[in-house]
Amino acid sequence: MSDFTSGFWNVYVIVLTLGSIAFCAWILIAMSKTTGQGGGAGPAGKTTDTTGHVWDEDLKEFNNPLPKWWSNLFWITIAFSIVYLILYPGLGSVKGVLGWSSAGQYEKERSEVDTRVKPLYDKFAAMELAKVAADPEARAMGERLFLNNCAQCHGSDAGGARGFPNLRDGDWLYGGEPEKIVETITGGRMGVMPALGAVLGEAGTKDVAAYVRSLSGLPQDTLRAQAGKPLFEANCSACHGADGTGMQAIGAPNLTDNVWLYGSSEATILEGIQKGRNVNVSEGTLAMPSFKETLGAAKIHLVAAYVWGLTNKPAAR
């Protein structure tokens, strides 16, 4: 219920749940009575109403009540559901007498696991990150944490995807030093590129795109590239540098290394310059979340060691 933003849904769930139980009870009561038409010889010589349906002149359909053993089973399930709803959450935001919740159970089990493995985490947390990366057991733990928390965006092989950096190619937006990786995982990242289409105009955007492609040796219109250089210096160099090599302090990509986060096609580069690159789920551009609360310092240390080890060759312990 924590996902519901309106009190209506709380009432809706309560009414729907209790209404369903009451309807089942009404069905059982209604079906325990005979409401047929006319009489007939029922089982064991008893007189029983019929539904009024007759086949082959004398074959009648009796309207017998439900068997007691069958209806009693349903009454038992109704009683069980009422007791369950009193003890456990099931009526909207009502927590139940026992106060149990799936979220609370998860946190309890997670806390128990963390308590058992804390000595192991503490041991690796006290080691330098490069030494942790060289430890097979620590790397295996870091890989499992990565797969559970990071693979959704960066891929199970850490190879990345469109808009999500490849962590295996040695190209780092904010720096690949151990402390920078820890900083990135801990606090998250919010990279933003402003839209320059209105500033540059259609022709200017194409000129800058041609110049950007020339920086990494991609085919381009030479005349447009020459015209785009001063526009780049005036509008883009503040982040990407005068030579286009980027600025790790703010996560501005290096445009000279032929490593592209969204692709190197002319259309893609034009799109990036014109519209910018902001956080937009529909376009597949997402900020990297902070894992400070989710993982904690000890687990972040292990994940960072695993990621650092993907592009470095730590000496085996």
Verify that 159 and 52 share a domain, yes or no.
no
pLDDT for res 1: 47
Q: Could you tell me if residue 62 is inside a domain? A: yes
Instruction: Answer with the one of 61, 87, 113 that is the final residue of a domain.
Output: 87
Query: For residue 31, what are its two tokens?
Result: 């079906």
Q: Could you tell me if residue 131 is inside a domain? A: yes
Verify that 294 and 257 share a domain, yes or no.
no
In tens, the pLDDT along 94-109 reads 889 998 988 889 889 9
Contact between 117 and 292 (Cβ < 8 Å)? no
Verify that 50 and 21 share a domain, yes or no.
yes
Q: Could you tell me if residue 94 is inside a domain? A: no
Q: Could you tell me if residue 317 is inside a domain? A: no
Q: Could you tell me if residue 232 is inside a domain? A: yes
Verify that 242 and 297 share a domain, yes or no.
no
pLDDT for res 54: 84
Q: Which H/E stretch holds residue 60?
A: strand 59-62
pLDDT for res 48: 59
pTM over 0.75: no
Verify that 148 and 293 share a domain, yes or no.
yes
pLDDT for res 36: 47
Contact between 170 and 308 (Cβ < 8 Å)? no
Q: Summarize the confidence of residues 195-209 as an average pLDDT.
A: 95
Verify that 164 and 294 share a domain, yes or no.
yes
Q: Could you tell me if residue 205 is inside a domain? A: yes
Q: Could you tell me if residue 249 is inside a domain? A: yes
Verify that 201 and 258 share a domain, yes or no.
yes
In tens, the pLDDT along 34-68 reads 554 545 544 444 555 777 788 888 788 877 778 88
Verify that 121 and 155 share a domain, yes or no.
yes
Q: Could you tell me if residue 93 is inside a domain? A: no
Q: How far apart are CA 294 and CA 302, in angstroms?
A: 14
Question: Domain of 82?
Answer: 7-87
In tens, the pLDDT along 108-165 reads 998 898 888 889 999 999 999 999 999 999 999 999 999 999 999 999 999 999 989 9
Q: Total structural domains in the chain?
A: 3
